[in-house]
């Protein structure tokens, strides 16, 4: 039975009938000279045995320890440690380690702070030891928890695909690509701006959205035109009809000049002349046997013979067309009896 005797020095004791004193637990020495085990070591029993190092994963923070303490969760230590350190991916004091948050990492064990993922990388889990490189066609900012698809690409950060022809996307992220609007088309893939959508040219229109080639742009029909400064038309409603008295057989016309009036002309049969002026040349509107009016030029062929009459070049008198958007000459009809027209491109016959 041990009991302190006045003859034993400090930190030592003896048992009944023992020949000498021995160091207490937590202390070591011999010959009655006992010293405390230093921090990081321990001694569980009395005697003269040396202090032992705390094993890895345990620690002793004070001297004269009779045992070592286990490190807490997500912490560790080396043999003979006086404290624990946080595992990689965790930070804080050794007795209270917390995981690095998403968007950050810690590669080494220790108490240092977690670091933010750099731009172009991400971390989507807590306790990360490293950040992951963004996949092709995606990027990220510092401290990101995910990568975002580049403009012109869509999907999730790990699988970004190019916008198809006929579409575009101006922002980063996973949003869908936007269709080019009606009246436009784009043959480009991975378009990152709406400017990639090209207007249907003048004289054409399209009601198709998301068009990927110019083939969807339809010609304005014959008898109409669409001005050059008005590309990007979305329907045939923008095709302006040729005015009455004119027609155009051209589809996809880009200017009003395509609407012509001269062909709307049909001179009536020549009348038999009863008189003629000598040595003269002039134009005259005379009634024909049908009551139509035609313009003729009278040309003397010989001083002693009557002049002959022929229609003026491009003669339009005697016909008219009230149709708008006409696409051929068949709309030009002869003026009825007791009416007339005196010029080209006439829309109505006059009484």
pLDDT in tens, 11-56: 988 877 677 788 999 999 986 789 999 999 999 999 889 999 999 9
Q: How far apart are CA 231 and CA 241, in angstroms?
A: 17
Lowest mean pLDDT among 12-16, 60-64, 84-88, 290-294: 290-294
Other Cβ atoms less than 10 A from the Cβ of 338: the count is 10
Residue 30: the pLDDT is 80
Q: How far apart are CA 289 and CA 75, in angstroms?
A: 119
Give me 336's structure tokens: 């009825």
Q: With beta carbons less than 8 A apart as the criterion, state whether 52 and 43 touch.
A: yes
pLDDT interval class at 347 (50, 70, 90): low
- Evaluate if residue 60 carries a pLDDT over 60: yes
Q: How far apart are CA 124 and CA 135, in angstroms?
A: 14
**Identity of the highest mean pLDDT range in 142-151, 325-334, 338-347:** 142-151
Give me 298's structure tokens: 């009278």
Q: With beta carbons less than 8 A apart as the criterion, state whether 148 and 139 touch.
A: yes
Q: What angle do CA 134, 136, 137 make, to 5 degrees?
A: 100
Residue 228: the pLDDT is 65
Report which of residues 100 and 323 the model is more confident about: 100
pLDDT interval class at 345 (50, 70, 90): low
SS3 214: helix
Residue 5 exposure: Cα atoms within 13 Å on the Cβ side: 16
- Evaluate if residue 241 carries a pLDDT over 50: yes
Residue 1: the pLDDT is 43
Give me 349's structure tokens: 């016959």
- Evaluate if residue 161 carries a pLDDT over 90: yes
Could you say which DSSP state residue 256 is in? G
Closest CA to 211 of 230, 191, 241: 191
SS3 34: strand
Domain residue ranges of the chain, discontinuous segments joined by +:
1-70, 259-351
pLDDT interval class at 268 (50, 70, 90): very low
Which residues are 288's β-sheet partners? Answer: none
The mean per-residue pLDDT over the stretch 275-279 comes to: 39
What mean pLDDT is reported for the chain? 80
The mean per-residue pLDDT over the stretch 294-315 comes to: 38
**Identity of the highest mean pLDDT range in 17-21, 232-236, 265-269:** 232-236
Closest CA to 179 of 162, 194, 161: 194
Lowest mean pLDDT among 95-104, 152-161, 306-315: 306-315
pTM exceeding the 0.85 threshold for the entire prediction? no
Q: Residue 32, by phi and psi: left (phi above 0), alpha (psi -120 to 50) or beta?
A: left
Query: The tokens 């004119």 sit on which residue?
Result: 246
- Evaluate if residue 283 carries a pLDDT over 50: no
Residue 274: the pLDDT is 40
Report which of residues 350 and 168 the model is more confident about: 168
**Identity of the highest mean pLDDT range in 57-66, 92-101, 297-306:** 57-66
What homologous superfamily is domain 1-70 in, according to CATH? Tumor Necrosis Factor Receptor, subunit A, domain 2 (2.10.50.10)
Residue 8: the pLDDT is 84
Residue 33: the pLDDT is 87
The mean per-residue pLDDT over the stretch 285-304 comes to: 37
Residue 330: the pLDDT is 60
- Evaluate if residue 293 carries a pLDDT over 60: no
């Amino acid at each position: 039975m041990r009991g302190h005797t006045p003859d034993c020095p400090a930190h030592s004791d003896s048992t009944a009938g023992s020949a000498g004193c021995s160091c207490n637990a937590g202390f070591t020495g011999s010959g009655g000279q006992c010293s405390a085990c230093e921090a990081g070591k321990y001694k569980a029993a009395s005697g003269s045995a040396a202090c032992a190092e705390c094993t890895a994963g345990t620690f002793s923070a004070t001297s004269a320890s009779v045992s070592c303490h286990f490190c807490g969760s997500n912490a560790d230590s080396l043999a003979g440690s006086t404290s624990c350190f946080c595992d990689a991916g965790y930070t804080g004091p050794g007795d209270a380690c917390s995981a690095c948050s998403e968007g950050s990492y810690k590669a080494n064990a220790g108490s240092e702070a977690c670091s933010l993922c750099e731009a172009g990388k991400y971390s989507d889990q807590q306790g990360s030891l490293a950040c992951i490189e963004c996949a092709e066609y995606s990027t990220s900012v510092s401290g990101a928890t995910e990568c975002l698809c580049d403009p012109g690409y869509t999907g999730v950060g790990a699988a970004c695909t190019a916008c198809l022809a006929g579409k575009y996307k101006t922002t980063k992220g996973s949003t869908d690509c936007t269709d080019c609007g009606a009246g436009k088309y784009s043959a480009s893939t991975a378009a990152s701006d709406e400017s990639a959508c090209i207007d249907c040219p003048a004289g054409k229109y399209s009601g198709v959205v998301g068009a990927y080639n110019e083939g969807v742009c339809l010609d304005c029909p014959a008898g109409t035109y669409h001005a050059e400064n008005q590309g990007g038309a979305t329907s045939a409603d923008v095709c302006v009809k040729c005015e009455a008295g004119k027609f155009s057989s051209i589809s996809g016309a880009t200017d009003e000049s395509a609407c012509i009036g001269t062909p709307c002309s049909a001179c009536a049969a020549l009348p038999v002349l009863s008189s003629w002026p000598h040595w003269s040349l002039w134009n005259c509107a005379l009634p024909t046997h049908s009551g139509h009016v035609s313009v003729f030029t009278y040309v003397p062929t010989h001083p002693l013979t009557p002049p002959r009459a022929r229609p003026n070049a491009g003669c339009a008198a005697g016909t008219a067309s009230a149709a708008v958007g006409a696409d051929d000459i068949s709309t030009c009809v002869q003026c009825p009896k007791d009416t007339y027209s005196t010029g080209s491109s006439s829309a109505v016959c006059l009484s």
